[in-house]
A and B are shown apart, each in its own frame.
Chain A
Amino acid sequence: METLIQASYFIVAVIFIVGLKQMSSPVTARRGILWAGAAMVLATIVTFLAPQIIDTDQATTNVVLIILAIALGGGYAWWSGKRVAITDMPQMIAMYNGMGGGAAATIAAVELLKATSDASANSTNIATELGSDVAILGILGAIIGTISFSGSIIAWAKLDGRLNRSKLLPAQHLVNALIAIATVGFAISIYFSSVLAPIVVFFALALVLGIFITIPVGGADMPVIISLFNALTGLAVGFEGYVLGNAAMIIAGIVVGSAGSLLTHLMAVAMNRSVSNVFFAGVGTETATSSDTSQGEMKEIQAQDAGILMAFASQVVIIPGYGMAVAQAQHKIWELTQLLDDKGVSVKFAIHPVAGRMPGHMNVLLAEAGVPYDMIYDMEDINADFKTTTVALVIGANDVVNPSAKTDSSSPLYGMPILDAVDSDNVIVIKRGRGTGFSGVENPLFFADNTKMLFGDGQKAANDLIQAVKELS
């Protein structure tokens, strides 16, 4: 039986790695998740045969409890995952990730509680009962998992608009540092103790620490935090895998831990932020004081004229931003794209690395509307094309096309790579109003000579453009 279980875990680990590899290419990605899903089912089923579960006195009760918990937790996740809007996916990822961190922490809690009762019975301490390696990794996994749990829940609440405060206490960073020190102190005391109290305090402190770390993080930086917590949960799972002697958990956890760390780094680079920056500062927290120097006038255009301009263009590049998704205009934009395509206009989509709420989010939103991924270009691949572009259509995007990121060293955006929409012959910007973007920074593109503003709701504007193009045929 043990051989069967171990062999299954081995297969599961292999499939997870191959599945993740497949998920890193759009062609094979779907297959990757389906295989990984099957592997997860296999792992869950064989675990029911594990001697730790079936060879105990309370096996029947525990098996019933396990099935009940899987049904409740899995059922809720299935229900919520199926009905969440694509725009809201980032916070759901945060929530499910938090649950994983919580699971790792609670595994550690069970192990520590058992060790405590053994230790007080044998008048030893936790380190002796578990072995020093298991005790250390178990406690480390508990800290990391707990922080990831409470931090992810805060990230979910902030992204979901349930929590708007970014400040809780004065000298937040100092308080955080003190709590972190206290948490480590209690972690060490657990190692040498045989009583319950420090364990309870330890988990409480780690919970508070996760909350306090995440509260000050700005909305734009949330993807980096979620990705970081994802990596941390992986690490915690790997450590608890060591505690339980479970190879599948170790391999899957550590693979995610390292992949997630790299992904976090890549995201931070794409957003021109460093990971430490994300924790200790925030773009737009200090109101942009850069005076609006000689901005000039915004020039308005009507949908009718914009439609004609686009219908007779040789190449149109569409630059979507989160505003498009909020207006639910992506389906209309795809319809417009097809109409233009029928007229022989070459249409491309240009995606900034941080378009949407996290890198790649905009691709998912466009994919939902039916835009094939080979019409969608990354920033590096499209930027040279703007010089030969007749019309760049900016919809719901702002900071990612702000030329002051290149030209104005006093701008908070300075240094962020941008899409060079300003190089096109014409720029049409669909925008709700005259306000500034997510970062609160003025955008000189809107005042440029070749830029025309099409004011209005994204969906309505897209619809008007469709009508304008249709009337021409």
Chain B
Amino acid sequence: MIEGLAALYIFMLAGFTGYEIISKVPVILHTPLMSGSNFVHGIVLVGAMIALGIAENTTQQIIGFLAVLLGAGNAVGGYVVTERMLEMFKSSNKETNGG
């Protein structure tokens, strides 16, 4: 479990990390990177699974089910579109015949 001050430190360090990662990115990668970070917060799926796991009655189970459904959509959809975009980036040094 992460509590209090420890969490505050994690929040701060993670915040700096995110800033640092993006600060030097070329414009050409803005869209793929947005899509990639969209995929990364798909980790919400893990929390959704736990939310459904701790559900005690039908109402909570329905909401938890919705959480997992949406979280899985975020993770899988984010992955598929990012991968499709990045798959297409190639350099002319390696492959000259595109198509």
Which of A165-173, A247-255, A435-443 lies at the interface with chain B?
Answer: A247-255
In the complex, are the beta carbons of A65 and B93 less than 8 A apart?
no
In the complex, are the beta carbons of B30 and A110 less than 8 A apart?
no
Residue of B nearest to A21 (CB): B21
In the complex, are the beta carbons of A99 and B74 less than 8 A apart?
yes
Q: Mark interface residues in A413-448 (1 if CB within 8 Å of B CB, else 0).
A: 000000000000000000000000000000000000
In the complex, are the beta carbons of A247 and B32 less than 8 A apart?
no
In the complex, are the beta carbons of B30 and A256 less than 8 A apart?
no
Nearest CB in chain B: distance from A184 CB, A: 22
A356 to B27, CA, bound (A): 12
In the complex, are the beta carbons of A66 and B21 less than 8 A apart?
no
- Does A329 sit within 8 A of B, measured CB to CB? no
> Which single member of B33, B53, B61, B99 contacts A53 (CB below 8 Å)?
B53
Main secondary structure of the interface of A (DSSP, over half): helix
Of residues 22 through 64 on chain B, the ones whose CB sits less than 8 Å from some CB of chain A are 22-56, 59-61, 63-64
A259 to B96, CA, bound (A): 34
> Which single member of B28, B49, B77 contacts A99 (CB below 8 Å)?
B77
A254 to B32, CA, bound (A): 19
Residue of A nearest to B92 (CB): A372
Q: Mark interface residues in A348-361 (1 if CB within 8 Å of B CB, else 0).
A: 00010100101111
The count of chain B contact residues (Cβ–Cβ below 8 Å) is 88
Nearest CB in chain A: distance from B18 CB, A: 3
A270 to B30, CA, bound (A): 11
Known contacts A33-B82, A65-B68, A267-B30; decide if A106 and B51 are in contact (CB<8 Å): yes
Residue of B nearest to A16 (CB): B40
Contacts of B3 in A (CB 8 A): 133, 245
Known contacts A78-B80, A107-B67, A367-B89; decide if A69 and B37 are in contact (CB<8 Å): no
Contact-residue size bin, chain A (C-beta under 8 Å from the other chain):
35 or more
Of residues 60 through 100 on chain A, the ones whose CB sits less than 8 Å from some CB of chain B are 61-63, 65-66, 68-70, 72-78, 80-82, 84, 86, 89-90, 92-93, 95-97, 99-100
Known contacts A29-B89, A52-B53; decide if A107 and B48 are in contact (CB<8 Å): yes
In the complex, are the beta carbons of B27 and A93 less than 8 A apart?
no
Contacts of B41 in A (CB 8 A): 97, 100, 230, 233-234, 237, 252-253, 256
Residue of A nearest to B7 (CB): A242
Known contacts A26-B28, A255-B17; decide if A260 and B76 are in contact (CB<8 Å): no
> Which single member of B15, B26, B73 contacts A257 (CB below 8 Å)?
B15
A95 to B35, CA, bound (A): 11
A21 to B22, CA, bound (A): 8
Q: Which A residues have a C-beta under 8 Å from some C-beta of B?
A: 9, 12, 16-17, 19-21, 23-27, 29-30, 32-34, 36-37, 40, 43-44, 47-48, 50, 52-54, 56, 58-59, 61-63, 65-66, 68-70, 72-78, 80-82, 84, 86, 89-90, 92-93, 95-97, 99-100, 102-104, 106-107, 109-111, 113-114, 117, 133, 149, 226-227, 230, 233-234, 237-238, 240-242, 244-260, 262-263, 266-267, 270, 334, 351, 353, 356, 358-361, 363-364, 367-376, 378-379
Q: Which B residues have a C-beta under 8 Å from some C-beta of A?
A: 1-4, 7, 10-11, 14-19, 21-56, 59-61, 63-93, 95-99
| Cβ-closest 9 pairs across A and B | A370-B98, A81-B80, A53-B53, A77-B77, A372-B92, A258-B18, A73-B72, A100-B74, A259-B18
- 11 A-B pairs whose Cβ atoms sit less than 8 Å apart in the complex: A50-B50, A73-B70, A86-B85, A92-B77, A99-B77, A100-B44, A102-B67, A250-B11, A255-B18, A262-B19, A373-B89
